[in-house]
Structure formats: structure tokens, C-alpha cells
Amino acid sequence: MLALSRAPVRFATAKVPTSRFSSTVATSTPKAPRFKWTKRVLKGSAAVGLAVFAWTVYESRHPLPQFEWDHSKETIAILGTGWGSTSLLKDLDTENYNVVLVSPRAYFLFTPLLPSSTVGTVELRSIMQPIRFLTRFKRREILYVEGNCTNIDPTKKYDYLVVGVGAENATFGIPGVKENACFLKEAWDARRIRTQLLDCLESATFPGQPESEINRLLHMVVVGGGPTGVEYAAELHDFLNDDIQTWYPDIAGKFKITLVEATPHVLGMFPKDLIQYTERTFAENKVEILNNTMVKEVHQKDILVLNKDKELETIPFGLLVWATGNTARPLVSDLISKLPKDLQNQRRGLVVDDWLAVKGSKGSIYALGDCSATKWAPTAQVASRQGAYLAEQFAQLYALKREKSKFVEEGNKPEEFVQKLQPFVYNHQGSLAYVGGDKAIADLPFGIHLSGAMTYLFWRSAYMSNLFSLRNRVLVGFDWLKAKTFGRDISRE
């Protein structure tokens, strides 16, 4: 027994031919250093990324001292804090100019995500950037006045005025629109829509409501088939189907969304294949599109339309969102009336030349964004590019004036100096639109058309990259994650 029990021990410790095992070990050992280097690179990258993030956050909360107002320098007065004005402020070298900013809105609003904020996909404050977060970091202090500009005198002698006050929602003179419809252009519009939407849902669940009243309250109508109207209808569909059905089971399946458009198709600025994709997606999501339908009157609980068969039809609604286009603000219309009529012949905005100077203002007034009348569509992308261009133009103008002064000091005549400022050129970078159900469409340069779930990820990444600050990117990213994990917030303020 003892000899038998010890024999296996000796056998186990004896040398056994290991040619196969040794070759296996030999081929696997060189891989270890590779994994070590990979881990080191990943750890190093994470450490560098965290350090950059921390430094960016620190810088954003600790602005440096600024130069004071310099009366020897020219002054630029800027009206508005929209896309054009904010882009101009962001790139303008205030070391060369004094700047006065006047706006009733003390923040920049990232309007492409405004439809998302009405249903809680993102929080409204996540897409708002306080304007002092921008002005406080400029080289010279900026005088900001929170207020409305009510009058512009084009004959007074100021240095430069930049009008970037945007535009109003166009109602086309249709009775009842201003009194009974919700617009979607400002932060307070989003709050009103959210409040009225949740009011409709709660009212529909009130005991004893007749079926006809429930159907009216749960019928959401969007007028306007442009990007804003389409994206709001898409966000509304997601909200009602992903969240409301869970928390309001007694009215689940009774929702109805209708999109009213006066032209033959929605998204008329997009290619035909993307329009068809959008209309198919809306049909799958049971969002009804009424093309060739014109609104004639708006009442408190219904709208009167002229349908595609040229018949008058009454459509009851609980919520009506009006997203049909722009018209000039009273301030802009008043300024147009003070300038030469042969040069200012557009009702929708101020006519500008190739350098964004208002025609008839002798080069002292500039206009950009939705308050200007140009050959380009009134989009955030155009306004942002115009602001960046105008900042560069002011930098060139400052350099040219210094060069001209030196030119005259050397004994030359002022008229011999020729200023060479390049005109504004707009290169379209593409258009995006969300169509619901985690799907989007993209019309990109070189004829590239994209649609579907992957385009939705591209849509989100594009909007994320265009947010003005790291703070907004972090907040919006957390909002998207929160909505995906816990669902949208359905509480009312």
C-alpha cells in the first residue's frame, strides 16, 4: 500500500517530454508586453482626457481680468443674442473695439433642440447658455443691457450697429392664431406647450368626460411641415408612445397627431427620397399628414381648414402648435421704412449687400440671421456663419484702417488706398431632421442622403458638437441618458 501510494508521486515529478507544451508556451509569452502597453496607453489617454476636462471646467469658472472701456476705440452696438449675434460675439476681438450688447434675452438658446425640451427629452436649461458666460471671457469688458430696442435712427452718428434680432412667427393674417395657437421659437413657448400638453392629458382622464371631449383633448395638431414642425411632431410621437402610455393606461392608444401643411409635401427643402422616407415613417408611426391643406381660421378648440379637395373642414384639437415660418419684427419693419424704398424692397427683412451691410445705411449698419433678407434660407447654420464672417470682417477692417493711417502719414492721398474686404460666401454643410422612432434624415454635400437609426446617432452627435460650451454638452448628454434610462419627466410646474 505504501509503495503503491508513493509511486504516483514520483511519476508526477518525473520529467516528461514537453515539446508540444513548450512550443505553446514559447508562442504565447511574447503577447504579454503588448497587453501591458495597451493598458498603459488606455490609462494614459484616460488620465490626459480627465486632466483636459478638469482644466476646461476650471477655466470656465475662473475668467481673467478684462480691459476697461477705451474711448479712443470705435464702438460696435449689437442687438440680439441669437445665432448670428452670439457667433459674432464669440469670434469678435474686443481688444480692438468697445462693444455694447442689447437684448431682452440674457442667454443664447440652442433652438434645434427646442422641440425636444417641450416633452422632456432634454431639459430647457440644458440648451440655454447665459450670455455673461460668453461676454465675461472677452479681452475687453462688454456692456450688456437687458432690454428691448424700440427704435433705430439710421441718421445718427454711431460707429457700427449690428442688427441680429431674429424674426417673429408668421401668422399670414389668419384670425385666431395669436390667441389660440402655441408658437415654438422661444424658451417660454416650450414651457407653454409642455404645460398645455400635460393639461390635455390630465383633463382627458377626468371622470365623466364624454368620449367626444376625450378625443378632442388627445388630438394634437401641428401646423407647418418644415423642419421645426416635423421634429416637434416626431418628438411628440415618441413622448406619447414611449412614456404616456405607461403612466396613463386609461387613455393609451387614444392619442392622435396631425400635421397640417399647405404645400404638396413636408420638408420641401429636402430631396425627394428623404421626403418620401419621412412620410413613410410618419405613416408607420400613425402621424397623419394633411398636405395641400390651408388653415383659414383658428378657434379655441378647433381649426377651420380648406382641405386638398377644396372643401372646408373643421378639425378639433387639444393642443395646436404653429410652426409655419417667419416674418419681420416691428423694429425691423420700422427701420426698413426709414431707408430708401428702392434699396429696401423686402418685407421679410433688411436687404443687405455681399458684405452684410444694410443697403442705404452707408455702411454703418449690418444685419444678419433671420432679420436679414438674403438668397439663403433663414436657418441657424446661415446665421452662425454670418456672425463668424462679420467678426473676421471687423478684424480686417481694424487692420486696414491702421494700414490706411500709416499710408497717409507717408504722404500718400487717402483715395489711393483701396480696401479689400472679401464678400460673404456661404457653403452649405447639410441639413438634418429627426422623424421619430429613433430615426433621422440627413441631406449632406456631394449628394449624400442618409436615413434611419444610424443617421439618428449622427443627428445627435452633430447637435452635440454644435452646442456652444462644454457645460451644455455635458448637460444634454446627461439628459439623453436620463430619458433613456428612467423615461421622460411627466410632471408639471
pLDDT in tens, 165-174: 999 999 999 9
User: Which pLDDT value is given to residue 64?
Assistant: 83
Mean pLDDT computed over every residue of the chain? 88
pLDDT band at 253 (very low <50, low <70, confident <90, very high): confident
The residues of the chain that CATH labels 3.50.50.60 are: 75-104+147-169+328-410
Give the phi and the psi of residue 361 in degrees, each rounded to 5: -100, 5
CB 239 within 8 A of CB 120: yes
Distance separating alpha carbons of residues 206 and 218, to the nearest angstrom: 13
pLDDT at 420 over 90: no
Q: How many CB atoms neighbour CB 382 within 10 A?
A: 21
Find the mean pLDDT for residues 205-218. Answer: 94
Torsional sign, CA 195, 467, 224, 122:
negative
- Could you tell me which residues come within 8 angstroms of residue 470 by beta carbon, excluding any fewer than 6 positions away? 53, 56, 57, 60
Type of residue at 370: D
User: Which pLDDT value is given to residue 443?
Assistant: 96
For residues 126-151, b (16+ Cβ closer than 10 Å) or e, as one string? bbbbebebbbeebebbbebeeeebee
CB 221 within 8 A of CB 302: no
pLDDT band at 419 (very low <50, low <70, confident <90, very high): low
Find the mean pLDDT for residues 239-251. Answer: 92
Q: Does domain 177-324+430-486 have CATH number 3.50.50.100?
A: yes
Q: Does domain 75-104+147-169+328-410 have CATH number 3.40.930.10?
A: no
31-61 and 470-486 helices, crossing angle to 10°: 110
User: Which pLDDT value is given to residue 146?
Assistant: 96
pLDDT at 417 over 80: no
User: Which pLDDT value is given to residue 21?
Assistant: 43
User: Which pLDDT value is given to residue 33?
Assistant: 64
Distance separating alpha carbons of residues 300 and 115, to the nearest angstrom: 23
Reported as a single tens digit per residue, the pLDDT across 121-137 is 999 999 999 999 999 99
Q: What is the β-pairing status of strands 107-109 and 128-130?
A: antiparallel
Q: Is the pTM of this model over 0.75?
A: yes
pLDDT at 199 over 90: yes
Grid cell in block for residue 60: 470656465
Tell which wins on pLDDT, 41 or 151.
151
Distance separating alpha carbons of residues 79 and 116, to the nearest angstrom: 27
Grid cell in block for residue 230: 416635423
pLDDT band at 19 (very low <50, low <70, confident <90, very high): very low
What is the residue whose three cell numbers read 411628440?
236
pLDDT band at 107 (very low <50, low <70, confident <90, very high): very high
Distance separating alpha carbons of residues 154 and 335, to the nearest angstrom: 8
The residues of the chain that CATH labels 3.50.50.100 are: 177-324+430-486
Which SS3 state, helix, strand or coil, does residue 388 take? helix
**∠ CA 186-191-194 to the nearest 5 degrees?**
125
Find the mean pLDDT for residues 219-245. Answer: 95
